[in-house]
Copies of this chain bind each other. A is one copy, B any other.
């Protein structure tokens, strides 16, 4: 195997936690190391690149490194298609009108975000069916945006926020990362809330100045819009108002939905963390050791202990283990209960024999 010098400690940043138990006068202690970490989040299976016709279909971790371009492309395509369609049937849409194209875009945004004020309504059968088609596709598109773009933007912002908050404190870089991971959902919640607040204030000020609504009405219209309630008694009826509305409605409705998603995420994470803490702090008994002893050699090695605890935390299931154990058994040609370089050579040669 490779020289020991290039190896990084498996648990970097941990060595100085309990210096008295980790001093050099404990020769029996084995150091757990790794030479090369298993590829994590930013890993892409290259072998599959040639299979998918769309080069972007390989972003298996789309939620972590989302393809914003793709989302914006979809959005642009949807908006142009909807605008063209609604512009063509503009005479079959009744209500307060300003400008042909602007009204088509405005009607499209009000429909796709499901705000549906009703200040513009389709009056013919064709226009009604068209609106039905565009509201379903619009909803799907909003879901796509929610799961990609906003998350990505907030995450970028959040990293800057975390850095700024820890700039003065002299803590190790790994500690910052650990704390950031612990609090990242909370930061996301706060950030989404702040953005939402700014959007609500902007909307209220705009409605009271441009649309000449009084403050309560402006606030009521803002709430009615961002929640996609859209009673329609107060809406954007001027040309300037509708230009503003096109951008503001899309951003603010998505921002509120994202905020709710983050709250749900925070809730799930807190419950998960509670369980993890319980699993890690409860007393380990002999029964646990017996259960964790996968290879039944009377000793629980580090990896066995980790697997047992992960299962207890609900992070992995017996199915996950079974699937991988099948591969392990296939690879363990000499059936020694552990893999070595000779197993790999044997496995590959037996595969060649079968061909």
Interface residues of A (CB under 8 A from B): 1-2, 7, 10-11, 14, 17-18, 21-22, 26, 28-41, 43, 45, 47-48, 60-63, 111, 114-118, 121-122, 125, 128-129, 131-132, 135-136, 139-140, 143, 147, 178, 181, 216-217, 219-220, 223-224, 227-233, 260, 264, 268, 271-272, 274-276, 278, 280, 282-287, 289-331, 334-341, 344, 347-348
Which of B22, B275, B285 has a CB less than 8 Å from the CB of A344? B285
8 Å CB contact of A35 from B2, B216, B233, B290: B290
7 A-B pairs with C-beta separation under 8 A: A17-B326, A28-B334, A34-B291, A61-B271, A116-B116, A303-B304, A306-B324
> Which residues of the partner chain B approach A328 to less than 8 Å between Cβ atoms?
302, 305-306
Do B34 and A339 touch (CB < 8 A)?
no
Q: In angstroms, how far is the closest chain B Cβ from the Cβ of A280?
A: 5
> Quick one: given A229-B116, A306-B324, are A143 and B14 in contact (CB under 8 Å)?
no
B325 touches A306 (CB 8 A): yes
| A289 engages B227 (CB within 8 Å) | no
Question: Is A284 within 8 A of B129, CB to CB?
Answer: no
Q: How far is the CA of A62 from the CA of B264 in the complex (A)?
A: 12
A345: shortest Cβ distance to chain B, in Å?
9
Min distance, Cβ A354 to any Cβ of chain B, angstroms:
13
8 Å CB contact of A139 from B128, B224, B232, B260: B260
> Which residue from chain B places its CB closest to the CB of A216 in the assembled complex?
B125
B280:A229 contact, CB within 8 angstroms:
no
Q: How close is A203's CB to chain B, nearest CB, in angstroms?
A: 13
Q: Please state if B38 and A312 are interface contacts (CB–CB under 8 Å).
A: yes
Bound together, the chains give a CA A26 to CA B334 distance in angstroms of 9
B278 in contact with A331 (CB, 8 Å): no
**Whole-angstrom CA separation of A287 from B47 in the bound complex:** 18
Q: Is the CB of A264 within 8 A of B147?
A: yes
The answer to whether B327 touches A309 (Cβ under 8 A) is: yes
In the bound complex, do residue B131 and residue A220 qualify as a contact, i.e. CB atoms below 8 Å apart?
yes
The answer on a CB contact under 8 Å between B114 and A229 is yes
B36, A290: Cβ atoms under 8 Å? yes
Expressed in whole angstroms, the Cα–Cα distance for A289 and B347 within the complex equals: 14
With A114-B229, A301-B338, A303-B295 already in contact, the answer to whether A223 and B11 are too (CB < 8 A) is: no
Task: Kindly list chain B residues whose C-beta atoms are within 8 Å of the C-beta of A341.
Answer: 286, 289
Contact A233 B118 (CB under 8 A): yes
Q: Contact between A223 and B132 (Cβ–Cβ < 8 Å)?
A: yes
| In the complex, residue of chain B having the shortest beta-carbon distance to the beta carbon of A340 | B299
Taking CB atoms, residues of chain B closer than 8 Å to A339 are 284, 289, 292, 299-301, 305
* Distance of A32 Cα from B7 Cα, bound (Å): 30
Given the contacts A11-B322, A319-B178, A325-B306, A43 and B312 also touching, CB distance less than 8 Å = yes
Residue of B nearest to A223 (CB): B132
